[in-house]
Structure 1
Amino acid sequence: MNKLTTRHWLMLVMALFLLAFIVGCAPDEVPGDDESTDTEEESDNNEEETDDENSYSANDGEVSGELEIQYFVGGYGDSWWKEVIGDFQEEYPDVEVVEHAGPNINEEMRSRWASGNPPDVVYIDGAGSSETQMVEDGQLMNLTEWAEEIELEDGTPLLDNFIAEPASYDGELYSLPLVFDTWGTWYDMAWFDEEGYEVPTDFDSFMSTMGDIQENEDIAPFVTTGQHPYYFLRGMLYPAFSAYGGNELLADVITGEEGAWTSDEVLSIMQNVQQMQEEGYIDSGFGALNHTQSQMNFLLHENAFIPVGFWLPNEMSGDTPEDFQYGFIPSPMNEAGEPMAIVPDLRPLAIAEEAENPEAAKAFVDFVFTREYARLFSEHTGAIMNISDVDLSESENVPEYLIAANEMINDPEQVQIYHKPHPMSADLETPISDALVSLMLGNITAEEFVEEAEKAAEAYRNEQ
């Protein structure tokens, strides 16, 4: 082979090699290349299948990682939480649950929420917590679409099985109501029976009974906590607003609508409170009492009535005298001849917007909502979980007062149930509570109170 032929041959080989190299390095996205498109779609399908395998499902056991749960420990105790969390970890062994709990947990965790490093799941309850404030601050995940997928153990939608509906913020859900509590007025049933005191059913009979007790026992018959004045606001005034003006008035005062706090209905109610103070029925030392101190005074018959939720007997179980028998009625702020009013006070579960492990958080929230855990909640706490059609009558561990209260609440001839749109924002509740203490101490009149409350509502609206 001569040099020319050899040179041509070498050039041909190099050209073929270069062409093969170019084709091998060409991108997959070649227009009209059906084979490369099929390969891409197959790859995408594989990625989707992988994503599906790793995605959250309430019962697939695929959830893993660290899950932080924050829950307040107060009158309900923590035994129910311990049982549920233990069962959850058995169901999801790849999840490590870190509990942040205690009576001061809301304050202890405040810096974490403020710094954008919150726990994954939060039970919103206790002093220092405000669901509405957390929603306004963008701290809670929007659960609207996901909540529609949750089912109870019988396959029915969770949202169709709540006793009371979740709080709604312009139609959006940011929490699911775990506990159906309601504020009411408590008394010692055994003491009342022994002394012949009438159990009140309206404001007139309430005042009459308090007068009898004051005269016979030489005590101020009514006590509440001045350190947490929202006990009186939620426990006595919310039912009064509902009884006088229905859900509309209740919603208006909670949201700070213009003119709501200076309305004739609200003024009339606050004049009743002023009358309670002027008659000496409100313990003059209430301003210095925290909630446990006021409850202790009540148990010792230093007072006869106290507004608290269903957690009272459980919280004070270690201090309750042996002969004390808890009696519960809806707060008797209604007019004579009208049903007493109940306003459910829901305690919700929520997921942090910035949760590190949202899949595990959703798995836990889904896991909690069952009728079996609802029954256990009543046994552990003496209160009601917000799930309908839970039979408590067959359980020996459910207290009698809860069964009796449940029957009363479900009797429309005795009790009318009202609903608030959502909890009052702390930005509005705090100044109103301050003015309320002044009224109950006799430092301002009912007319001055409603003016102060209206100013607070105006300031709140301007901040929104």
Structure 2
Amino acid sequence: MKKMVALACVGLMAASVVTGCSSKKDDGSSGSDGEKRVIKFDAFSGGNGEEVWKEMAKAFEAKNKDVKVELRFEKDLPAVLNKENSKGEYSDIVYYNLGQQSQFTETQLNSKKVEDISDVFADENVKKNINPDFVNNPVSQFYGDGKNYLAPIMYTPGGLYYNANLVGEGKQYEIPQTWDDMFKLGDELKKDGKVSLFTYATAGYLDNTILSVIQEAGGQELLSKLLNYDSAAWSSKEGKMVTDTIGRLVKDYMEPNTVANANVKDGFTKNQQAVIDGKALFMPNGSWVVGEMEATTPKDFKWGVTAVPALTKDGKKAITTFTEQCWIPSEAKNKDDAKAFLKFIYSEEGANIMLKYNCVVPINGITDKLTGVNKELYNVYNDENVTAVIGAFAPFDSAAIPDVDMKKVLCFTADDINTGKTTAEKWNSELVKTWKTISEHPVK
């Protein structure tokens, strides 16, 4: 992978492998299965499916005969875990990402309820294998204290996905290189009246696109300011350029059923299907969409992904790298075995299991093993005119300002811009206000 920005360190990739990680005995095991220690693994039931974790658990248990991995998958995982946590019951590993509408993981982090797992990445086998860009960044090191709290178990290019049978060199539509090109294409599509330029699964998927435009507008300086709640940065020329660009996209060029679909149960799949069916050209997403939509994707369909168009003709395009994360609750009973399981994911065997299900673990040399659609999708990182971005918003004392919903203001305002309830200008003002409030309530 190319260099990462957004407060990330630069690391070189070199091929290496690790052997399976054995777990240690923990007298505070979270349960029992005969004489076996139990790891309670709780995951959101979603895009990557359950089979990958069933195979991972089986392989881990084969190397750790005294450990049993109990897997549980829930559609509304935050509600289930909040109920159990209130009774003093905790998972040993939680697979639930940052950036979800519920903000569950952010709330746990902001409340200091997530375990320090720096020793996982200090392990020599893991250390020599993992790409350091994914460890030394504000996603894994959420508090900025040099310690790791989130384990980046897979990554995906969070760019604009499209139907490669329609879009690309020599196809019906060319890939826009700049936002001017993007909007020009949108105007042409509106005249034709058959295809829309853009859709999103839900407005929450805009987060990676917004981060990419921030990088394009003001580079790492603007990105750092906004990730750390500098409210004045939204008022700057570059900050307004971000909201004006995204605002214009969702107001003038969105597939007309997007907002309605995005706000009903499972309606997000209809918006994703719009790209497959040729009703919309581009949508922000991740590589998991390939498997998620497999049942309704024609066999001759071909997925593509591109970076977000550049703001200027001479500027660089950007693509935000989305990671999925596992973490250990600070109240977990079986932390030692939980950490051993995380280490196993980064082993050659664990990474190969993930890859079998199109999940790319951020270890050195993994991209050399990619085939088929994954190989083509991850090639986006090889474009020298693309800046790869990875980052996360800084923690804040969410308990002190429970009525502030940062994700809603940042992303879901797009629904209201599209329907005419608000404007890009008002959105910018609301971001300034929200960022100012958050900046006044840091984590104590």
Q: TM-score, normalised by structure 1?
A: 0.78
Distance in 1 (alpha carbons) for counterparts of 2:393 and 2:362: 15
Question: Which SS does the other structure have where 2:180 is aligned?
Answer: helix
CA distance in 2, matches of 1:389, 1:356: 34
1:301 paired with 2:278, answer yes
Contact 1:182 1:309 in 2 (8 A): yes
Instruction: Give the AA of the match of 1:385.
Output: V
Measured in 2, the distance between the counterparts of 1:323 and 1:58 equals: 41
After TM superposition, list the pairs within 5 Å mapping 1:410-429 onto structure 2: 410-411=382-383, 413-422=384-393, 427-429=405-407
- 1:211-268 Cα deviation digits (max 9, x unpaired): 233333533321114xx42211x13211000111223322322332231222211211
Tell me which residue corresponds to 1:244.
217
Q: Indicate the residue corresponding to 1:281 in structure 2.
A: 253
Quote the residue 2:76 is aligned against.
104
Q: CA deviation at 1:164?
A: 6.9
How many angstroms apart in 2 are the aligned matches of 1:177 and 1:461?
27
More displaced 10-residue stretch of structure 1: 197-206 or 127-136: 127-136
Q: Distance in 1 between matches of 2:287 and 2:394?
A: 18
- 1:457 has 2:435 as partner: yes
Q: How does 1:249-288 map to 2 (within 5 A)?
A: 249-277=222-250, 280-288=252-260
CA shift in 2, pair 1:302/1:214, >3 Å: same
| Paired residues for 1:137-286 under 5 Å | 137-144=111-118, 146-152=119-125, 156=128, 158=130, 160=132, 162=134, 165=137, 166-171=140-145, 172-192=147-167, 196-225=172-201, 228-232=202-206, 234-277=207-250, 280-286=252-258
Consecutive aligned runs of 4 or more in structure 1 exceeding 6 Å deviation? 423-426
Say if 1:392 and 1:214 are closer, same or farther in 2 by CA, change over 3 A: farther
Once residues 425 and 23 of structure 2 are traced to their aligned partners in structure 1, the CA distance between those partners, rounded to angstroms, is: 60
For residue 61 of structure 1, report the CA deviation from its aligned partner.
6.1
Out of 87-96 and 439-448, give the one that drifted further: 439-448
Q: Distance in 2 between matches of 1:116 and 1:264?
A: 49
Which residue is equivalent to 1:387? 363
The size of the alignment, in residue pairs, is 396
Matches within 5 A, 1:274-423: 274-277=247-250, 280-290=252-262, 291-332=268-309, 334-381=311-358, 383-393=359-369, 398-400=371-373, 402-411=374-383, 413-422=384-393
Given the superposition, is the C-alpha separation of residues 282 and 160 from structure 1 closer, same or farther in structure 2, using an over 3 Å criterion? Answer: closer
TM-fit CA distance, 1:162: 4.4
SS at match of 1:404: helix
Deviation at 1:422, TM superposition (A): 4.7
Find the residue that maps to 1:67 and give its secondary structure. strand
**Matches of 2:360 and 2:318, distance apart in 1:** 18
Residue 423 of structure 2: aligned partner: 445
Higher relative contact order (CA 8 A, sep 6+): 2
User: Larger radius of gyration, structure 1 or 2?
Assistant: 1
Residue 114 to residue 302, structure 1, CA distance change in 2 (3 Å) = farther
Distance 1:371 1:363, change over 3 A: same
Q: Which has the higher helix share?
A: 1
Deviation digits for residues 50-82 of structure 1, max 9, x if unmatched?
xxxxxxx94266465121011223222222211
| Overall identity of the aligned pairs, in % | 20
Q: How much is the aligned-residue C-alpha RMSD, in angstroms? A: 2.7
The Cα of 1:424 is off from its aligned counterpart by 7.4
Q: Verify: 1:436 aligned to 2:409, yes or no.
A: no
Q: Distance in 2 between matches of 1:76 and 1:364?
A: 18
Contact preservation (8 Å) 1:239, 1:331: yes
Q: 1:68 corresponds to which residue?
A: 40
Paired AA for residue 110 in structure 2: E
Distance 1:84 1:277, change over 3 A: closer
Q: Secondary structure at the match of 2:84?
A: helix
Q: CA deviation at 1:273?
A: 2.8
Structure 2 Cα separation of the partners of residues 309 and 361 of structure 1: 27
Q: Distance in 2 between matches of 1:271 and 1:60?
A: 52
Paired residue secondary structure (1:342): strand
